[in-house]
Amino acid sequence: MKRMDFKHVNYLWDDNVANQLDAVERLRYRSNILGADQRITNTGGGNTSSKIKMTDPLSGEDVDVLWVKGSGGDLRTSTRANFASLYMNKFLSLENIYNKSEIKGVKTEIEDSMVDMYRHATFALNPATSSIDTPLHGLIPFRHVDHMHPISAIAIAASKDQEGLTQEVFGGEVGWVAWQRPGFDLGLVMREELRKNPNLKGLIMGQHGLINWANDDKACYELTLSLIERAALYIEQHDKGEKTFGGQKYESLDEKTRDEILIKLLPVLRGKISQTNRFIGTVHVTENILQFVNSVNAPRLAEIGTSCPDHFLRTKIKPLYVDWDPQKESVESLLQKLESGLVQYRSDYASYYEACKHPNSPAMRDPNPTVILIPGLGLIAWGKNKSESRVTAEFYSLAIEVMRSSDAISEYQGLPLQEAFDIEYWLLEEAKLKRMPPEKEFARNVVVVIGAGSGIGKATAHRIAKEGAHVICADLSEPSARDTADELIKTYGLGIGVAGTGISGCGPAIGLGVDITRRESIRHTLENVILAYGGVDNIIITAGIFVSPDKNGYMPDEKWALTYAINVTGPYLVADEAKKIWQAQELKTSLVITTSANGAVAKPGSVAYDTSKAAANHMVRELAIELAPLVRVNGLAPATVVEGSSMFPRERVISSLSKYNITFDESESTELLRGKLALFYAQRTLTKSPITLADQAEIAYLLSSSKFSKTTGQIISVDGGLHEAFLR
Ligand SMILES: [Zn+2]
């Protein structure tokens, strides 16, 4: 089998790579290349295994070890640490325990309790947690097993006559098992199929996916690809072309109009679905998605919901489809339809919960949709963070491809509601959610830091990212804004999920240029934030300027004007532009403006700067009144942060050192000179310690956080204690 033989999947196996690896690394390699193609499996979906002969660290004897992808993680990005390892003989002995139970079978107590038993079979103290799919691998008597969620196989598995189609497509090489919630029993059911028909190479799993096996790992990989390819070719032959999804009812909007509508729509939508928990959005627009949302059958198919359990755990059992004519209807009518659509969706969700719940079911979760489909516009997905919202967008776009394919060869069927419920509210799933660490202070928050390219802004961006914020690093210098964002991505990762159109495909941080002296520039930046994340929460402004008068004390008029444009008018324009978004969103947020201790202290040589900061102090109070009750507005008043500060360029440091008669040498480095000046300033404070960027970043963070949720209109000084700057 060669790479050119495949049209519908990417053949990526390279012997030159694989033959350098040990058996476990070969499994990792196989998993990575399978996961790299969304047509083979979705992000986080599917699992792989190899049964490998290894030396037992206790007995020194050769034993068979089942290496199988563990719970969590993702095939594409898996490392060795994502694989659990179990003694095969110990794992197989668990069947006796299972059989001893009087009540056994799918969804029984004994089945759920098996998951905890896998730990007893752990080989070599491997801490990776085994997943519920472990028996699907361990009970199949072949050395290598791949379980994937390929679009083409799910399309067969989600069709009305799935068993007959399996026979027609695979001619008896692949068997079929009806939908059953994964677990120990499903493993036994599959082994039984194989016992009845020892020639089977794999199985279509009803409403779920594909599993197949071989005794050689490369052969297993090639089999996986060839089975998926076969199903895809069959689907391709039956493609309905223009008649797909019953044909087109609406037309797409051009990109510019689409973005204009999204910019108006997203904050309103985010506010409406975020009343209990905030969500982060991802806009996903492809030709295939547009073909679906614009189609005649979209309302009917959307109502049936997604089929693969992996998909609907993120997408919810169904999306919210809004029947809106992009050519004839207004944005206002779209907003109205969304509002009534959301009310209907929540009530449908509550009815589904009531109808399907068991006496011991967990409480109903957030009833808002996570996927919203709008003709002409595309798909909007929501998640607790950017990574999850990208995954949600990816999963629904895969579900659309499943529906397209299934509709071509048969009739698409969703999972029965009770089965969907028993997955969504599975006690094992609930236990997994409960084990997750509590969310951080700024989780689910979109925070814009203006001035993030250097100094206090950069330190603040790092501080709030630590609290789980999605950080927009904005700065007059776009390259330095991007540098800060890159540092954050390097620390916290891009996340998983392959989706997001344009800027919406971003990770948890982006760097944008902004000139706060220009309203259009601010507006443009905030619009990009909306397209990237769906809205705006907190804004922290650290951008500022200090212009020294020349040696004779002269300050040109344009420098005076610039000082006011950046230190006073800039923050006002940011607040004024953000106000529209905040009001559309109707969520509580905060604005922090960096002023200065100089705003309260009169001294010679800095009249422009000091008066501009005094104006900024008072603007904090004015804005606090104007933006209440949605937005808290507070000021952070630093003094003399010299460390790494662009406010203290070399010439200002040197002129200050001369002014205070501090000995220095012109040959010394800027940081060394800054250190001397910082020590001198510290001696003038009550606490006698140099003031650092981290000190400022901490207060910028705290003022924005819920810890200060009852404080607004205040200026907090972080100046080491300057009695002459005490506000009264
Ligand atoms: Zn699966």
Q: What is the CA(52)–ligand 1 centre distance, in A?
A: 23
Residue 47, C-beta contacts closer than 8 angstroms, at least 6 positions apart: 68, 69, 75, 131, 133, 136, 137, 147
What does DSSP say about strands 174-177 and 202-205: parallel, antiparallel, or unpaired? parallel
pLDDT tens-place string over residues 567-619: 999 999 999 999 999 999 999 999 999 999 999 998 888 899 999 999 999 99
- pLDDT greater than 80 at residue 271: yes
Q: What is the CA(181)–ligand 1 centre distance, in A?
A: 9
Across the range 126-149, mean pLDDT stands at 96
Q: What is the CA(134)–ligand 1 centre distance, in A?
A: 11
Give which of 572, 667, 652, 653 is closest to 612, Cα–Cα.
Answer: 572
Q: What is the CA(49)–ligand 1 centre distance, in A?
A: 13
Kindly tell me the sign of the dihedral angle through the C-alpha atoms of 35, 40, 43, 47. negative
Across the range 44-55, mean pLDDT stands at 96
Model pLDDT, residue 8: 94
Q: What is the CA(272)–ligand 1 centre distance, in A?
A: 33
pTM: 0.93
Q: What is the CA(136)–ligand 1 centre distance, in A?
A: 10
Q: What is the CA(95)–ligand 1 centre distance, in A?
A: 21
DSSP string, 608-621: HHHHHHHHHHHHHH
Q: What is the CA(60)–ligand 1 centre distance, in A?
A: 35
Q: Residue 7 burial (CB < 10 Å; 0-12/13-18/19+)?
A: exposed
Q: How many CB atoms lie within 10 A of CB 187?
A: 21
Model pLDDT, residue 2: 67
For the chain, the helix, strand and coil percentages under 3-state DSSP, each to the nearest 5: 50, 15, 35
pLDDT tens-place string over residues 421-438: 999 998 888 888 888 889
Tokens (6 digits) for 73: 């993680």
Give which of 602, 517, 605, 597 is closest to 564, Cα–Cα.
Answer: 517
Contact by Cβ (8 Å): 49, 142: no
> Is residue 1 very low, low, confident or very high in pLDDT (cuts 50, 70, 90)?
low
Contact by Cβ (8 Å): 50, 26: yes
Q: What is the CA(716)–ligand 1 centre distance, in A?
A: 54
Tokens (6 digits) for 292: 């679906």
Residue 196, C-beta contacts closer than 8 angstroms, at least 6 positions apart: none
Query: 3-class SS at 443?
Result: coil
pLDDT tens-place string over residues 374-395: 999 999 999 999 999 999 999 9
Distance from C-alpha of 19 to C-alpha of 26, rounded to nearest angstrom: 8
Helix axes 109-117, 427-435, angle to 10 degrees: 40
Contact by Cβ (8 Å): 599, 567: no
Q: How many CB atoms lie within 10 A of CB 551?
A: 7
Contact by Cβ (8 Å): 492, 465: yes
Distance from C-alpha of 237 to C-alpha of 211, rounded to nearest angstrom: 24
Q: What is the CA(182)–ligand 1 centre distance, in A?
A: 7
Residue corresponding to tokens 């800060």 = 484
Distance from C-alpha of 543 to C-alpha of 111, rounded to nearest angstrom: 59
**Bridge partners (DSSP) listed for residue 212:** 146, 202
Q: What is the CA(44)–ligand 1 centre distance, in A?
A: 10
Q: What is the CA(46)–ligand 1 centre distance, in A?
A: 5
Q: What is the CA(352)–ligand 1 centre distance, in A?
A: 24
**Could you give the dihedral angle defined by the CA atoms of residues 55, 60, 61 and 66, in that order, rounded to the nearest 10 degrees?**
-30
Residue 448, C-beta contacts closer than 8 angstroms, at least 6 positions apart: 472, 474, 525, 526, 529, 536, 538, 539, 540
**Range list of β-strands (E), 82-155:** 83-87, 144-148
Q: What is the CA(147)–ligand 1 centre distance, in A?
A: 7
Across the range 396-401, mean pLDDT stands at 95
Q: What is the CA(501)–ligand 1 centre distance, in A?
A: 27
Across the range 479-499, mean pLDDT stands at 95
What does DSSP say about strands 446-450 and 470-475: parallel, antiparallel, or unpaired? parallel
Q: What is the CA(310)–ligand 1 centre distance, in A?
A: 7
Q: What is the CA(213)–ligand 1 centre distance, in A?
A: 15
Residue 272, C-beta contacts closer than 8 angstroms, at least 6 positions apart: 338, 339, 342
- pLDDT greater than 80 at residue 551: no
Q: Phi and psi (nearest 5°) for 632?
A: -85, 140
- pLDDT greater than 90 at residue 648: no
In the chain, pLDDT over 90 holds for what percent of residues?
85
Q: What is the CA(545)–ligand 1 centre distance, in A?
A: 57
Contact by Cβ (8 Å): 474, 529: no
Query: 324-354 b/e with 16+ CB inside 10 Å = b?
Result: bebeeeeeeebbeebeebbeebbebbeebbe
Kindly tell me the sign of the dihedral angle through the C-alpha atoms of 232, 233, 235, 236. positive
pLDDT tens-place string over residues 206-261: 999 999 999 999 999 999 999 999 999 999 999 999 999 999 999 999 999 999 99
Q: What is the CA(324)–ligand 1 centre distance, in A?
A: 35
Q: What is the CA(503)–ligand 1 centre distance, in A?
A: 31
| HEC-encoded secondary structure of 67-86 | EEECCCCCCCCCCHHHEEEE
Q: What is the CA(146)–ligand 1 centre distance, in A?
A: 10
In the chain, pLDDT over 70 holds for what percent of residues?
99
Model pLDDT, residue 549: 83
- Whole-angstrom CA distances from 721 to 605, 683, 686, 691 are 22, 10, 5, 10
| Neighbouring C-alpha atoms within 13 Å toward the C-beta of 558 | 0
Residue type, 130: S
Instruction: Specify whether the backbone of 334 is left (phi greater than 0), alpha (psi in -120 to 50) or beta.
Output: alpha
Instruction: Specify whether the backbone of 245 is left (phi greater than 0), alpha (psi in -120 to 50) or beta.
Output: left
Q: What is the CA(320)–ligand 1 centre distance, in A?
A: 25
- Whole-angstrom CA distances from 579 to 136, 533, 573 are 54, 17, 10
Q: How many CB atoms lie within 10 A of CB 59?
A: 8
Across the range 363-377, mean pLDDT stands at 97
Q: What is the CA(682)–ligand 1 centre distance, in A?
A: 62
Q: What is the CA(45)–ligand 1 centre distance, in A?
A: 6
Residue corresponding to tokens 């996903």 = 284
Contact by Cβ (8 Å): 113, 94: no
Across the range 637-644, mean pLDDT stands at 84
Residue type, 153: A
**In the predicted model, what is the mean pLDDT of the chain?**
95
Residue type, 549: P
Q: What is the DSSP letter of 361?
A: P
- pLDDT greater than 90 at residue 4: no
Q: What is the CA(209)–ligand 1 centre distance, in A?
A: 6
Q: What is the CA(75)–ligand 1 centre distance, in A?
A: 12
Q: What is the CA(150)–ligand 1 centre distance, in A?
A: 10
Distance from C-alpha of 330 to C-alpha of 137, rounded to nearest angstrom: 54
Distance from C-alpha of 638 to C-alpha of 247, rounded to nearest angstrom: 62
Question: Which of 1-10, 657-666, 717-726 shows the lowest per-residue confidence on average (mean pLDDT)?
Answer: 1-10
| Neighbouring C-alpha atoms within 13 Å toward the C-beta of 642 | 24
How many residues can be counted in the chain? 728
Query: 3-class SS at 424?
Result: helix
Across the range 464-483, mean pLDDT stands at 98
- pLDDT greater than 90 at residue 333: yes
Q: What is the CA(210)–ligand 1 centre distance, in A?
A: 8
Residue 706, C-beta contacts closer than 8 angstroms, at least 6 positions apart: 441
Q: Residue 475 burial (CB < 10 Å; 0-12/13-18/19+)?
A: buried
Q: What is the CA(644)–ligand 1 centre distance, in A?
A: 52
DSSP string, 520-564: HHHHHHHHHHHHHHSS---EEE---------TTS---HHHHHHHH
Enumerate the H helices of 554-606 as residue ranges. Answer: 557-564, 570-585
Kindly tell me the sign of the dihedral angle through the C-alpha atoms of 60, 62, 68, 73. positive
Q: What is the CA(516)–ligand 1 centre distance, in A?
A: 50
